[in-house]
Amino acid sequence: MKTNILSLIQDDIKISRLIGVLENLDISASSYYLGNVTVIFSLMGISNTEQNQEFYQLLLEQADDLEKYRTPESFSKLAEEVYERLGERV
């Protein structure tokens, strides 16, 4: 189960980065979000509240640092960190 959740988080990290780059180019891209957060929260037993969604989004936005997060290994590490931080909300 954890592997599947980490995969969903990694997908969200990639999409979040893409959206950030597109918005920096003045391209509206907010509709590209996959909605994985609902599935992730459900699988982890986390309440799907606006506060938790905002917390999750803030965690994902760490990946906007293109220098720090530019390898698959760094995405995996960030996904693990997000997973652990979300686990504290159960």
User: pLDDT tens for residues 25-70?
Assistant: 898 887 777 789 999 999 999 999 999 999 999 999 888 887 888 8
Residue 14 clears pLDDT 80, i.e. is over it = yes
Give me the amino acid identity at 56: Y
Provide the pLDDT for residue 27. Answer: 87
C-alpha to C-alpha distance for 52 and 25, rounded to whole angstroms: 28
Tokens representing 73? 């290994």
